[in-house]
Amino acid sequence: MKCSIASYLFIFLAGVLLVSSCQNRPKEVLKRKEMERLLYDVYLAEATMENEYHRFNSPEKKEAYINRVFALHGVSQAQWDTSLSWYSDRIDLYLKMNDSVKVRLDRARKEVDGEIGRLAARKVSDPRTLSPSYIPTYYSFSGSAAERGFRFHLNEYDVKERITDDQFTYTYSVIGIPPLFPPRITSLLTLEYGDTSIYLPQQITENKTYRTIATKYLPEDTLRNTRQDTLRHIYGYIHLLDSLNSATHIQLYHISLGDDVADSTLSVVPMEEIIVQDERSDTLQHR
């Protein structure tokens, strides 16, 4: 019983000391949660530089990349040094923070490894044998120039078979993009109606789910004297511009095109980026 009471007392005193230590934190030192988020991105940046050493082959390039991580968090090099020194002097607190960051990193790594494994299980040996309308469920960018993206084309028959509702979505999730990845992955969905083509571009810059919502029918416009128009062709592609072969860990998964339209806070194509081309006037308009 005495041992148990002593244990509880030790835990209580340790907690009091920990809280007191946090309360005595100088203003120039980052808060614990802020420091953990920064540590996470710094570890990711260091791993990226180690794996892609041909891109970061000088101290200047490495320093510039780390400074971009600091800028993303609104932190200066001096504030990082001060915070790291302060937490390092409190080893118990630092180790707890470090463990928390490692758990997040392990979780992210397992998620990437899982998607790579699922992709490998579904990989088609020769893409040239596939139908033009084939859309992969999973896709992995590789160092090969032939595997830096994919494209598809749905003709009138495919559209009638696959698109049965008035609205439909084009959806895909992305994982494996390192911090501050430049916008080098582009997606474009082109919808061809009778007299009109609509272009829905999107820049892929973050690890998240992207969703484009489109319609099978264009409504009548009495002012422009146009009738209702039906979707005839869908063209799509996702392409990675990466001449240095440096982004081989990026994965696309849950790729789909169909009638599943749901309320969501997922990324959608902004209205100002939608481009409409009227074939009769041969003009481009931004909606």
254 and 226 in one domain?
A: yes
How many residues are present in the chain? 287
* pTM for this entry: 0.51
pLDDT of 51 above 80 = no
Q: Are residues 64 and 138 in the same domain?
A: no
Q: Are residues 163 and 267 in the same domain?
A: yes
Asked if 272 and 143 sit in the same domain, the reply is yes
Residue recorded with tokens 């911090």:
179
Same structural domain, 161 and 91: no
Same domain, 177 and 52: no
The residue out of 97, 121, 145 marking a domain boundary is 121
Report how far Cα 163 is from the mean position of its chain's Cα atoms. Answer: 27
Select the more confidently predicted residue: 242 or 199. 199
For the stretch 126-168, pLDDT in tens is 555 678 889 988 888 765 555 678 899 999 999 988 888 888 9
For residue 240, the tally of other CB atoms under 10 A from its CB is: 18
* 136, 114: one domain: no
Q: Domain range spanning residue 252?
A: 126-286
210 with 154, same domain?
Answer: yes
Least confident of 8-17, 129-138, 274-283: 8-17
Domain count within the chain? 2
Q: Do both 133 and 96 map to the same domain?
A: no
Shared domain check, 102 and 20: yes
